[in-house]
Amino acid sequence: MENSPTSRGRFGDFGGQYIPETLMNAVIELEEAYDHWKDDPQFVAELDDLYRNYAGRPSLLYYAENMTRDLGGAKVYLKREDLNHTGAHKINNALGQALLAKYMSKTRLIAETGAGQHGVATATVAALMGMECVVYMGVKDMERQALNVYRMRLLGAEVRGVASGTGTLKDAVSEAMREWTSRIDDTHYLIGSTMGPHPFPTIVRDFQAVISAEAREQILAAEGKLPDAVIACVGGGSNAMGSFYHFIPDEGVRLIGCEAAGRGIDTWETAATLNTGSVGIFHGMKSYFCQDSYGQIAPVYSISAGLDYPGVGPEHAMLHDSGRAEYVAITDDEAVDAFEYLSRTEGVIPAIESAHAVAYAMRLAPTMTPDQTIIVTLSGRGDKDVAAIARYRGEDLHD
């Protein structure tokens, strides 16, 4: 079946703008503003200054020597997005979109959040730029990421719990979209991942592409050659899209996205969209979704609130179908093992989301040779997950 010829923002068959008419002028206005400002010298300089002097960019490309020695194969480098201000890659996009919103004279930001990292990043930039901020978060996620809820409130944001559906990220996105239809004039919806209606998947990818722009330079400086593989975790897919983007033309570089298999892709308790889902239309985009045969969106599961989403960004859907990127599934057990492994081996506690990427690197590196290199994006730090991992291991520790 053909997409409509008037449709905008396509990645192959995927993407588009499947949203209520009420929001159409808002996304058109956003696209026009983005096209106008993205290459404007003042906008670029201001964002670059924020990246350097507020977020702490460039982030390190760290050679994980202990891990490399222990795994006995390819050299493993970690792209340390966990060292950014607020502790994750989410700040890259939050700063970019908030600055754009400011240039558009918006005074209020709304956002959805899963693990809370995007909510914290949005609350942070709202505080910095003097904007009002409301974050939607599933009630189940508020419980498993209680620390981040308090951080957002500390930063001056209002956190609204979403009890509908599964009380997770999907429902937070739905509720933020509903809220946006009721208040558009002064409000920018700061979507946290490479998803939703056009132009969001492109805007978020562009702001996150700083990850691969830096990593490409850094690895060339360190090794004098491109990496053999780039590995990142995929929920909606923003850190992975950012990690892949500048390597896409480099055909020798394997791009590997790690989805959350939850309790396994052969169970219902999974969030591995590209591994188990089918093409559909939801949250403004045509892409892959976990759904039943009637198109009802599935109640997905992962230990990681940030990957617990039944869809994936449209550009990943395209990269999946074209074969340019590979998408593997990592179970809760593997991710928790990797979480503990990286903590002990390198003294780096990764976010449970990022631990999915670490887990695959642990599987892949031993199959490769010492002259080969892997870049693993550590999208965030794991402080927020410590209590949940303790509970997973049977210790009754609460935030």
Partner 1 sequence: MTRIKNAFTAADGSRKKAFIPFITCGDPTVGTTEKAILAMVAAGADLVEIGIPFSDPTAEGPVIQEANIRALAGGVTTDDAFDLVARLREDGVEIPLVFMTYANVVYSYGVGRFAARGAQVGLDGVILPDVPFEEKAEFDEPLAAAGLELVSLIAPTSHDRVRQIAAASKGFVYCVSSLGVTGVRTNITTDIGAMVELVREATDVPCAVGFGISTPEQAAAMAAKSDGAIVGSAIVRILAEHGEDTMPYVEEYVRAMAQATHAA
Q: Please name every residue paired with 232 in a beta bridge, in sequence order, or none if there are none.
A: 257
CA distance 107 to 130: 8
Token match 């995927």: residue?
Answer: 14
DSSP string, 186-243: TEEE---SS-SSTTHHHHHHHHHTHHHHHHHHHHHHHHSS--SEEEEE-SS-HHHHHH
Of 111 and 155, nearer to partner 1 (C-beta) is 111
Q: How many CB atoms lie within 10 A of CB 52?
A: 11
Closer residue to partner 1 in complex, CB, 96/192:
192
Least distance (Å) between residue 14 CB and partner 1: 13
Residue with Cβ nearer partner 1 (21 or 395): 21
Min dist. Cβ of residue 83 to partner 1 (A): 36
The smaller minimum CB distance to partner 1, of residues 58 and 167, is found at: 167
Crossing angle for the helix pair 200-208 and 210-223, nearest 10 degrees? 30
Which residues, including other chains, have CB under 8 Å from residue 232's CB and lie 6 or more apart?
239, 240, 243, 244, 256, 257, 258, 357, 376, 377, 379
Distances (CA, A) of 74 to 256, 355, 362: 15, 18, 10
What SS3 class is residue 118? Answer: helix
Catalytic residue among 90, 106, 170, 286: 90
Q: Which of 112, 334, 346, 353 is catalytic?
A: 112
Q: What is the torsion angle, in degrees rounded to the nearest 10, for the CA atoms of residue 194, residue 133, residue 84 and residue 173?
A: -30
Closest distance to partner 1 from the beta carbon of 185 (Å): 9
Q: Which is nearer to partner 1, 184 or 209 (CB)?
A: 184
> Nearest approach, Cβ of 208 to partner 1 (angstroms)?
25
Interatomic CA distance for residues 120 and 149, integer angstroms: 8
Rule CB under 8 A: which residues touch partner 1?
A: 1-8, 16-26, 164-165, 170-171, 174, 177-178, 181-184, 278, 280-284, 286, 289, 291, 293-297
- Kind of pairing between the strands at 108-113 and 229-233: unpaired
* Minimum distance from residue 161 beta carbon to partner 1 (Å): 14
Closest CB 89 distance from partner 1, rounded Å: 26
**Spatial distance between the Cα atoms of 211 and 205, rounded to a whole number of angstroms:** 10
Q: Is 379 a catalytic residue?
A: yes
Active site residue 112: yes
The single residue of 193, 243, 354, 379 carrying the catalytic annotation is 379
- Token pair of 379 as six digits: 């999208």
Indicate the residue among 81 and 171 with the shorter CB distance to partner 1: 171
DSSP H helices in 51-116? 65-71, 90-103
Supply the residues annotated as catalytic. 90, 112, 379
